[in-house]
Chains A and B, each alone.
Chain A
Amino acid sequence: GAVVSQHPSWVICKSGTSVKIECRSLDFQATTMFWYRQFPKQSLMLMATSNEGSKATYEQGVEKDKFLINHASLTLSTLTVTSAHPEDSSFYICSALTGGSTDTQYFGPGTRLTVL
């Protein structure tokens, strides 16, 4: 299956700092990538849809100025959590669409963000 990587796998930062998370599709080109957030024992919640070369589409309730998404190439999307606060601590997961008839999403391994 298609492989999606994320970096870093975990990060601890101080309140008020910014953190960048990278998502890469390793063996395919992804015109569309997605960013999810997952709290303990909760389902994955879509934050935004990222299309290569255009602005991301954010879900209702997600602050676009706080969660900056850049999809500069067909294999890389980044999520920057700006001025992070403890309530932003969560598990952030990206996924990429393989396209074609199967239209399957493949997920990265996730990034655990802890804001102190």
Chain B
Amino acid sequence: SQKIEQNSEALNIQEGKTATLTCNYTNYSPAYLQWYRQDPGRGPVFLLLIRENEKEKRKERLKVTFDTTLKQSLFHITASQPADSATYLCALRVYGGSQGNLIFGKGTKLSVKP
């Protein structure tokens, strides 16, 4: 069956450390993968998109890797801050899917302690 899983429901880290979130998928052929941030009671906010032929993308303190052999994406936040506390969602866009149709994981709730 097709699945997209984010490694843990919650992740607690200390301020200044690097947070690493994992997204694994099975039985999908993704065209690209996106990461979003969602705060409580709010809609997701787009962070980064990485295509199947890209290994790594960076944006300020954020870094995303994409390994289509392992069927895994890693999302890193370096020098984490309490303001980074939120739920982070990964989403796949698959080949053959309806245009723009994203398949979302359940998210990982990140808490950064001061």
Q: Which residues of A contact B (CB under 8 A)?
A: 1, 4, 6, 32, 34, 41-46, 49, 57, 91, 93, 95, 97, 102-110, 112
The verdict on A107 contacting B106 (CB below 8 Å), with A43-B89, A44-B89, A102-B49 known, is no
- Across the interface, which residues of B come within 8 angstroms of A34, CB to CB? 100-101
Which of A1, A45, A93, A104 has a CB less than 8 Å from the CB of B43? A93
Q: Does B42 contact A (CB under 8 A)?
A: yes
Proximity string of chain B (37-52) to chain A, C-beta cutoff 8 Å, 1 when within and 0 when not: 0000111111001000
> A93 near B104 (CB under 8 angstroms)?
no
A34 to B100, CA, bound (A): 8
> A97 near B42 (CB under 8 angstroms)?
no
Which of A45, A104, A108 has a CB less than 8 Å from the CB of B46? A104
Within B60-114, the residues touching A (CB, 8 Å) are: 89, 93, 98-102, 104-107
